[in-house]
Amino acid sequence: MTALSNLVTAILLGMAALSGFAYFDRYYRWRDCFNDLGRCYDPQTGMVYLEQAGLVWLTLLLVCLGLVVMVLFLGKRRQKG
């Protein structure tokens, strides 16, 4: 693998980690708290968490991980050929 593909892989893994943390922080911790409108109010911090955030952050996480797999697969394929 080239230095460029290593850099791209590292950036994508960093984005995946950041998206995973945001998914956990904005949705997963509050998954039992959401009401019928898809909102959760945390009285300690005064924050309102939205259920839609889980879908957004999880989608971004899966896209980043999919791109990492694609970069790694194409890098191995180029080494063979």
Helix boundaries (H) for 1-81: 3-26, 52-80
**Average pLDDT of span 11-37:** 96
Residue-wise pLDDT for 32-57, tens only, equals 999 999 999 999 999 999 999 999 99
| C-alpha dist (Å) from residue 7 to 13, 27, 32, 67, 80 | 10, 30, 38, 13, 21
Residues 50, 39 contacting (CB under 8 angstroms): yes
Q: What is the pLDDT of residue 25?
A: 94
3-26 and 52-80 helices cross at what angle (nearest 10)? 160
Find all residues with CB under 8 Å of 30, minimum gap 6, and list them. 40, 42, 49
Q: How confident is the model at residue 81 (pLDDT cuts 50, 70, 90)?
A: low
Percentage of residues in the chain with pLDDT exceeding 70? 96
